[in-house]
Amino acid sequence: MTELWKLDATEVARRVHIGEVTAREVTLSALARLDAVNPRLNAVIQTMPEEALAAADAVDQSLARGEKPGLLAGVPVTVKVNVDQKGFATTNGLTLQAQHRAHEDSPVVANLRKAGAVIIGRTNTPAFSVRWFTSNNVHGATHNPRDKGLTPGGSSGGAASATAAGIGAIGHGTDIGGSVRYPAYACGIHGLRPTLGRIPAWNPSLPDRDIGPQLMAVSGPLARSIPDIRLALEAMSAPDPRDPWWVPAPLVGPEAPKRVALCVAPEGMKVVPAVEAALRDAAARLVEAGWQVEEVASVPPLREPARLQALLWLANLPRGGMEAVEREAEPTSLAVFRHMVELSSVPGLVEFQDALTARLGFLRAWNLFFERYPVVLVPVSGELPFPDHDDQSGLQRFTEIIEAQLVQVGLPLMGLPGLTVSTGLVGKTPVGVQLLAGRYREDLLLAAGEDIAALGTPPAPVDPDWD
């Protein structure tokens, strides 16, 4: 019999609903897997076995009463440590917030609970959730279960590492510059950045964020199968009046042509041969599945949106942001912020207003492009997953990394959705592709992603067997 921790969320929920297994049995299996592999990974930095088993028992009791326990009944999940979960510290990887305690759940955590999910642990993030690598002074470093020498990604590196290793079927992540999409890529799983307003999010214990992050930051799921991403999206996107950005958009939109634009090197970004090969392989899989794929030389702007994304993100530095970075004194994030300041000056009021105005034009251009090509196939990164802590190799290498991550950084300015689909391995190194679609058309991303994934080797839980 397959060990329960190996099952996808969709299968766990099915078995729990029909009474083939209990939520308690699934949770005990998940907790045992966590205990077995997390010491090597440090992906989960806080566990809650008693609370998890109580939640599982509640699901079982609900079923015994003939009630419907939710879409994710009994499914073990993890939650990133930068969102509020009642009774736990929202550290965001900071010693400055190590003693911080949330007194109520954020909307996304509340939605997971309402769906019957069982939270088994909180996952690591880099200090300030700012890097594509994961380490900090309060929780330490997280490792990639496939290769300790590779980054697990960031900032949802703990979520991706845990999910790839079978610690939970679904990982909650956040994305303002690739923080769901890139860790999924680095760890060889799938990850969805939904449209702004799709999944309600807010941290009751912290001040509201500046307008830049409000317009760009989202929560989203990571999983080992596309059906699990679909299921998680449905559960996580339930309404919550505490998030004014939430939009009651349908999960399935109007029928659209199965037409895809393949752009190997958006705006001339450098793409290594292995990444180009993955893109062409994914395109071939889509054609085999009945999609029309047309290669295009260009897509609407991403480079200028990436510049403006950084500008809006850094606007809080003169108003206490950089002071907090310096007080935290975490070396890797401090180096990154200093590099970012060199590459993107802090805006004045006029430049800030101009950036917000320009956002509208970029979104209009993408909307029009999606009219012709409902789905766009582009790189996740121009490079294969980076060596761990590669962003600490100086300004020149940091600049190269930023360039490789062009699509990661450019997309959030417009609030658009993106899906990372794992397509396989180059040796032992994961590789994948990114799909883009119009606002609230995650259904198109998932349809194309499922067809790509179906013609490859499905990601399976990985044992961290490196030295």
Q: Residues with Cβ < 8 Å from 7, sequence gap 6 or more? A: 15, 26, 169
Q: Is 29 an annotated catalytic residue? A: no
Q: Exactly one of 129, 179, 225, 381 is catalytic; name it.
A: 179
- Cα–Cα distance measured from residue 159 to residue 193, given in angstroms and rounded to the nearest whole number: 14
Q: Answer whether 414's CB lies under 8 Å from 359's CB.
A: yes
Q: Answer whether 223's CB lies under 8 Å from 229's CB.
A: yes
CA distances from 300 to 261, 370, 413 (A): 12, 10, 13
Whether a cis peptide bond, with omega within 30° of 0, leads into 333 is no
- H/E stretch holding 426: strand 418-426
Q: Is 345 an annotated catalytic residue? A: no
Strand-pair category, 418-426 with 292-295: unpaired
- Cα–Cα distance measured from residue 464 to residue 452, given in angstroms and rounded to the nearest whole number: 26
- Cα–Cα distance measured from residue 165 to residue 419, given in angstroms and rounded to the nearest whole number: 20
- Cα–Cα distance measured from residue 85 to residue 80, given in angstroms and rounded to the nearest whole number: 9
CA distances from 210 to 19, 49, 67, 107, 317 (A): 47, 36, 42, 19, 11
- Cα–Cα distance measured from residue 326 to residue 337, given in angstroms and rounded to the nearest whole number: 10
- Cα–Cα distance measured from residue 50 to residue 29, given in angstroms and rounded to the nearest whole number: 14
Q: Is 179 an annotated catalytic residue? A: yes
Of the candidates 232, 151, 150, the residue with the CA atom closest to the CA atom of residue 191: 232
Q: Exactly one of 29, 135, 155, 237 is catalytic; name it.
A: 155
Helices 331-343 and 395-404 cross at an angle (nearest 10°) of 80
Q: Exactly one of 80, 135, 333, 381 is catalytic; name it.
A: 80
- Cα–Cα distance measured from residue 127 to residue 326, given in angstroms and rounded to the nearest whole number: 12
Burial class (CB in 10 A: 0-12, 13-18, 19+), 403: middle
Q: Report the alpha-carbon angle 131-134-135, nearest 5.
A: 110
Catalytic (active-site) positions:
80, 155, 179
